[in-house]
Structure 1
């Protein structure tokens, strides 16, 4: 068994124009002071990271790793969540996704998709130069507006959506394969890959590509009322990244899973700062240890109540508490004995 690496922290929700949150060096020292051992970097945030330069320059990658090393940190993964969203976007969302791409591409979804493909390819090369083995992203969504089957969906609509999703992602997965890096899709409402069934659909259209893997985030599962522990029993071989994010689901007589178009603070299902929600992280970390999860436990903070700095400080301590230092011996070794074929055969009545 492997001891999970961590705690790490995803920097996206904390980056800001004010120091120390406006540079990688500043954020690295801030994270280290809170007790984090690693950081996951949002590759779209030029205040922290230059993705194109990282794909092209080993010297720049060494500089990035040096900044983290000076703060006593490791790099856990790069993230292309925003770029991944643009790989496959239903036209209904095009105006809302303009901010995910450069300003000069506003209102030009086809060019945004081309840009996103290039970004993912750079992320594969950059991850390889940085010595990473996993990458965090979103799948994008062609079918999501039709997730509820009313009005009745035309026959074949979902099949066509997933076939196109596979066609777009297969070449990107091949680039990541050449780089030796797993693509870890965060299963998330709003993405065509949002649960186990949709992930299995995707595997079929990419021929079970070995680089198509999962970023496990139980907060998105409890909000869907999906069994996040059994999920690990089923899909653990494909789990290669882990966002430690809490949530709660408290339905009432007025609102349930769909949320009633309410703001986050009024929804039955809402994200909470780590430790303030309902997720059984002790059981999750036990299963992760049981199944030899090879990666990092990375805090992702999202909460409509608690201040992010408080959430970060508390999250580092909680993840440290939950990481299990795995055993290298059996608890009943004291009562064991050396192998003895004759003795075993005698016990079984064979001699």
Structure 2
């Protein structure tokens, strides 16, 4: 069985990947996570007794720590989930995104290169570095534009997207300059269980359950392609095992939805699962001032991944959304554990000045 070093494994996508990897015996896991605001070790509590799972708190930018982990565990691959990922936070504090997404990824690559160059030829051929990125590096689409392909020029429009674009370029450069066996994935918007509730879908679910307003930016017609997190994890595992070094693979959900449509569907499902007499959850919808530089539309063409590796998403948006809402409804203890003062203060900071 493979041994994987996962960075950022206590976050939303990383934690879901680790759980799936252990439950389905994809690999043994070493999880390195800095434990910032969006990380939550409760996501992985069920693995506490798993002898093939190891957690280390630390920063990908800590060269000595990463080097020691590589020498101690000798992983077959690294999957880099570690990132600052919230656009609104990048607008308020872009420097932290540069430090984590650009400098952190660079230092992780450099430490990995030094380790990889000391391996024997058979070990070098077996090793790989998978970098998990975003469709936001490609910029924004008009309503009739074709979906993003792997050869779409980069045109990032937010500090977050710019920091991820830069990290992607470093990954590419380390393959072409040093021969490091890297693969990059660019995914569309993820959703599913265990997502930090400042993101659209969990924020709307939890606000609705609390009877709070459901704030939608602008006119609500910004479009995203929604990818269920379990489908994303299966794609990453497939790419890890069968992807070609130096390549990029787009991973999309094939589910384009406007933000308003997403929130309306959440309300419809909640009316069914958690009805409140005399209240339709859609009555809580309110429109607030748009965020600066809000990209109008994202869409992913994942035809390359389907053609070369045979992957397609299994979940429709409706089936994945129902599973997601059901999980939040049934896991109130998880929700309460992450509703810290820091999270409450962030929501207030981001939304209180956006009233029309």
TM bucket, shorter chain: 0.3 to 0.5
Q: TM-score, normalised by structure 2?
A: 0.37
Which one has the largest radius of gyration?
A: 1
